[in-house]
Structure 1
């Protein structure tokens, strides 16, 4: 075997080991990877019940309903579609109607989003990039460059 052949076998072996390692990592993380969706994405893509996603948009005005204890329901909108969210837990201090929110959880078979995490924007200028992009597409967001303003 020549020196060139040995080198090619070593490179091929290292590539195979690297490929296997990446495959194992992705397989191990497949339950941990959560994709962001706007309410329009949820409706258009037909997200399957039980699939874990992040849902972001604006809390629709006059939709926050507080139940017993820490139960709360509200509607997240991006101007194109609405998704009802049910959450049990303590909401962030900055959570309110008309503000940006990102929730994480699963879609139930009746179309209600069962959230286990709710995140609210933390100051007057911040909104997660994915939420801002989705709202810009719907024409409901104004950034610093004077784009259309969110209601």
Structure 2
């Protein structure tokens, strides 16, 4: 397997820092230390922290598996969604974008567009194909996602 580019490597390794410390709490110096690169190297690839978070979210988004909606059974819908799409990492990213999104609107748009493309729109299309009430499924999706966002993570 090919080694990721330096840009992708920095983006990939910075994501856990953003998830752990938030946008404001993650410094470029922390990224430099985690990635074992120089500060000029980070700034060569990213003009600012917003651009770095955009790249990290794009890298994360591109690495997410697609859910094959043709195989989703009605009885297992929510279990499959939670296992494949609404992962703890995805929920943490949403929480970060909701909580601090005004600091990084470009990155927030990347994540919210991904949620719409990967979760909401396919769910609504699936419900429509099943002859189910699309609005009810969209509301339930919102409620389940909100529940995930509002439930504190249990320390392992």
Higher relative contact order (CA 8 A, sep 6+): 2
TM-score normalised according to structure 1 size:
0.26
Q: Give the structure-2-normalised TM-score.
A: 0.26
Q: Larger strand proportion, structure 1 or 2? A: 1
Q: Answer 1 or 2: which has greater helix percent.
A: 2
Larger radius of gyration: 1
